Structure 1
């Protein structure tokens, strides 16, 4: 039997597009990791307040979520190729502006340029764009491209740590800005042509009616529950990613070891996400979210209780293995439960809530540290949010199974 049935939109070109999208996301999200690695260096310039660089990272996440809604609509009109090229230029400009801070140029560079019109023009539009190249292995494809942020986290922190130690965080941002623009813009121009999936208007397809029920409930009620769950799972997800290097330093572990630990966390996330993609194709998006969220809660608890270097490396790897499948599984669940004609607004809206959770988690951890002087209360807050997420997702999974009987 041929690998791609005649009625499938999937071809070898689909995987080529997905691979290029992965690489572009890996370059684009690399911009935000400089601030995570240099968190203490930047904080030292504003009296040691870690909430200042943490807020910059938070604004980049939040901006990318808001920008994703706007830029996805624009991408539907002019093509994803152009929003990605524009986004890459804005990320470079945002890094340049950030070097004039902290605090305000850092916040503006990250929130407006790197987040809102930079990653916002790349991340959500690429989720929608790549999902339209696949119909049989969509979960695996979404898992692949959503690994871009973790590919960035696996590759860049050790490199940034050396660059920051030798040249300073500002010079690291400037050099990376140049590399990001030179690499991303040409790749987008060459590879991102019109996708093969034809999206029929809701009135024509008959599947987009606002009266249609999802899981036996009003569609927007189900979507609201998914968005709320997304915020709650991303709060704990962000905390180790934004603060692991600084947390290690507080325990007497070198920054180079902390950067390597962050690389291990995100490297295992990248590798395991491909496995989660295969799993989600078999069991569905919501069930995958439930399993990944439970694993994340257990790993976060272990992080709270671990203080030595070897133990933290182990916990970091376990954390990466667990949380990595959650966000693409949410996107897959949207495509499973809602009409394709609604993907261009539901997917970026959901990603806005995940970005809001990532923004809130990183900033809350920095704020609690500034007030209390240690990270345990922040990690405990993250665990509480994770438990609430598990309750919501359990309701949705239970409802789906009930209707399947």
Structure 2
């Protein structure tokens, strides 16, 4: 192996630097998943709408985010990751500036769907797929670190936006976010010009083909199962993540307390994601996914019974610790069992299903609140969707047992 090949080999120092910068980009790009959550009460008051109407921009952002994950993932498969990062920065920057200038709820919602959502996709599936090519021994850990950008965004941005709301208003805050996206993402895109070696992709193709044979499912069958499972788990996940700020406001604790709970939830979600990476490298992505789904259901059940301020902090922390590692496990499973040259678009499809689940879950939770004037039924709805996800994942775990004994996390 030549010095240049060693420098750019999987698990090299360059790969870890690439991972670190991917985390920075993901943290900036995924701001759109959380900004609407924090400004939801202010937007509702500004445009004089019901809670379901105020949730519409979030739904549009998630729909755009889902499309962006697939489209930009496909571009990354064919041309590399630079174009998605650069294009995502342009879309996010212009989107947030236009959002700050919106005069109607529909303008605000469309900007989130067509610009902010699509641009944010650059910081999730394409980055995760790209990182999966640069690691072998620590692929599970690398994938969860890459996916943690969306959660780190949830830790940092709600506090920044909450401060911006109080100090400058939501419009100026959105314009400021757009400027940050342009300044950070455009220059960093140039670092990612190096692409994985052809030999690395060939070895990975042989490994995934053998794994599919052990699993006993065709690529499209496995893809379909993961799409359904991902949608269900994220309908359940959306209730606390999307509505915790508004929930705390309704209970009289204030929006700021809700933003703190959201940040706590997502900070501990990062801990959960990193921990799930270590676990997945040892027992496999499927078993790790089943464990996370089970514990997310437990947390949702606790929300049904506790609504005191201290209790909500505790349950939100538990929820973060339980569910943070769920979504990245779909990417780990895809890289273990599906063709690596299609990783960007295949991960994008499944991640988009999880995003659609978040969009649907966020909207239907607001609709349920409007119907019952209470979030209790919305939490119960999330729990039922989670049970459906768990049944699918457990069946898949049984099918994947031979692969678990072969330690899939160690595969190329």
TM range (shorter): over 0.9
User: Matches of 2:208 and 2:148 in 1, distance apart?
Assistant: 30
Structure 2: runs of 5 or more not aligned? 406-412
- Give how far 1:344 is off: 3.1
Alpha carbons 2:8, 2:15 under 8 Å: kept: no
Partner residue, 1:39: 40
- Give how far 1:38 is off: 1.1
Alpha carbons 1:68, 1:125 under 8 Å: kept: yes
User: Matches of 1:166 and 1:340 in 2, distance apart?
Assistant: 47
Partner residue, 1:241: 241
Alpha carbons 2:38, 2:162 under 8 Å: kept: yes
Does the residue aligned with 2:226 lie in a helix, a strand or coil? helix
User: Matches of 1:404 and 1:78 in 2, distance apart?
Assistant: 33
Pick which of 169-178 and 186-195 moved more.
186-195
Partner residue, 2:155: 154
- Give how far 1:7 is off: 11
Partner residue, 2:394: 394
Alpha carbons 2:208, 2:335 under 8 Å: kept: no
- Give how far 1:31 is off: 3.3
Partner residue, 1:316: 316
Partner residue, 1:365: 365
Pick which of 332-341 and 9-18 moved more.
332-341
More helix by share: 2
Structure 1: runs of 5 or more not aligned? none
Deviations 1:344-365 (CA, angstroms, capped at 9, x unpaired): 3321111111111111111111
User: Matches of 2:279 and 2:352 in 1, distance apart?
Assistant: 25
Matched, 1:17 2:56: no
- Give how far 1:255 is off: 1.5
TM alignment of 1:122-133, pairs within 5 A: 122-133=123-134
Partner residue, 2:272: 272
Partner residue, 1:187: 188
When the two structures are superposed, what TM-score results if normalisation uses the length of structure 2?
Answer: 0.91
Pick which of 355-364 and 189-198 moved more.
189-198
TM alignment of 1:377-388, pairs within 5 A: 377-388=377-388
Alpha carbons 1:200, 1:341 under 8 Å: kept: yes
Alpha carbons 2:64, 2:117 under 8 Å: kept: yes
User: Matches of 2:198 and 2:267 in 1, distance apart?
Assistant: 32
Does the residue aligned with 1:195 lie in a helix, a strand or coil? coil
| Alpha-carbon spacing, 1:307–1:17, altered in 2? closer, same or farther (3 Å) | same
Count the aligned residue pairs: 399
Does the residue aligned with 2:30 lie in a helix, a strand or coil? helix
- Give how far 1:101 is off: 4.2
Partner residue, 1:106: 108
Deviations 1:243-291 (CA, angstroms, capped at 9, x unpaired): 1111001111022111111111011111221111101111111101100
User: Matches of 1:77 and 1:205 in 2, distance apart?
Assistant: 16
| Alpha-carbon spacing, 1:74–1:222, altered in 2? closer, same or farther (3 Å) | closer
Does the residue aligned with 2:167 lie in a helix, a strand or coil? helix
Partner residue, 1:349: 349
- Give how far 1:207 is off: 7.2
Partner residue, 1:142: 143
Alpha carbons 2:19, 2:131 under 8 Å: kept: yes
When the two structures are superposed, what TM-score results if normalisation uses the length of structure 1?
Answer: 0.92
Alpha carbons 2:72, 2:126 under 8 Å: kept: yes
User: Matches of 2:251 and 2:165 in 1, distance apart?
Assistant: 21
| Alpha-carbon spacing, 1:403–1:260, altered in 2? closer, same or farther (3 Å) | closer
Alpha carbons 1:14, 1:134 under 8 Å: kept: yes
Cα RMSD (Å): 2.4
| Alpha-carbon spacing, 1:333–1:268, altered in 2? closer, same or farther (3 Å) | same
User: Matches of 1:241 and 1:205 in 2, distance apart?
Assistant: 37
Alpha carbons 1:214, 1:338 under 8 Å: kept: no
| Alpha-carbon spacing, 1:60–1:370, altered in 2? closer, same or farther (3 Å) | same
User: Matches of 2:103 and 2:316 in 1, distance apart?
Assistant: 31
Alpha carbons 1:214, 1:222 under 8 Å: kept: no
Alpha carbons 2:36, 2:58 under 8 Å: kept: yes
Partner residue, 1:89: 90
TM alignment of 1:245-324, pairs within 5 A: 245-324=245-324
| Alpha-carbon spacing, 1:172–1:215, altered in 2? closer, same or farther (3 Å) | same
User: Matches of 2:276 and 2:260 in 1, distance apart?
Assistant: 24
